[in-house]
Amino acid sequence: MVSSTYLAIARRREEAGMTDSCTITRGTTSGDPDPTTGTVPVASTPIYSGPCEYVAANTEARTVGTGGRDLVEQGAVLKLPVDAAGSAAVRPGDHAVVTLSSHDTTSDPVLVRVDGGHHQTVAVSRRIPVTEVLRG
């Protein structure tokens, strides 16, 4: 059995490494389709905003053709604090904008799609599987 003191210490250590920041949103359709374009308006609802850590899960990128466009996808993991407001509400299909830490000042924000959730009895962080989607 893990003591609550040990778990609190481990969580603080894990969170100290979360030097990136991210905003996770959920898109919901609202209203009628635009008569000209046929697209349905999408409203973006914030789910989580705060510290995170972005970790490339693998270096194997793949090209996916969709709707006449090529997209490059690459898997990764987004770590969130377990106790942070909104971190438990993240669901597959949500989108995140990750601003990398001051250790990488030349990188643009990373746009990712949430692929799954993370729930564990004794967790020091939520490790959310995500896919980075780059337009090709």
Rounded to whole angstroms, what are the CA distances from 102 to 8, 107, 130, 131? 26, 10, 22, 22
Contacts of 136 (CB under 8 A, 6+ apart): 63, 69, 70, 71, 72
pLDDT of 102 = 67
User: Which tokens belong to 70?
Assistant: 């090529």
Question: In whole angstroms, what is the distance from residue 20 CA to residue 52 CA?
Answer: 5
pLDDT of 101 = 81
Phi/psi of residue 82, each to 5°? Answer: -65, -40
pLDDT of 63 = 67
Question: In whole angstroms, what is the distance from residue 50 CA to residue 81 CA?
Answer: 9
The greatest distance separating any two alpha carbons of the chain, rounded to the nearest whole angstrom, comes to 61
Residuewise pLDDT in 10s, the chain (136 residues): 778 888 889 989 999 989 999 999 998 877 778 888 878 877 889 999 999 999 886 656 666 666 666 666 667 899 999 989 999 999 999 999 999 886 777 788 889 999 988 777 788 899 999 988 764 4
Rounded to the nearest angstrom, the gap between the alpha carbon of residue 34 and the centroid of all alpha carbons in its chain is: 30
Rounded to the nearest angstrom, the gap between the alpha carbon of residue 85 and the centroid of all alpha carbons in its chain is: 15
Instruction: Look at the domain 4-29+39-135 and name its fold.
Output: Thrombin, subunit H (2.40.10)
Where are the chain's structural domains?
Answer: 4-29+39-135
Question: In whole angstroms, what is the distance from residue 39 CA to residue 21 CA?
Answer: 31
Inter-residue contact 52 to 98 (CB < 8 Å) = yes
pLDDT of 50 = 95
Question: In whole angstroms, what is the distance from residue 83 CA to residue 125 CA?
Answer: 9
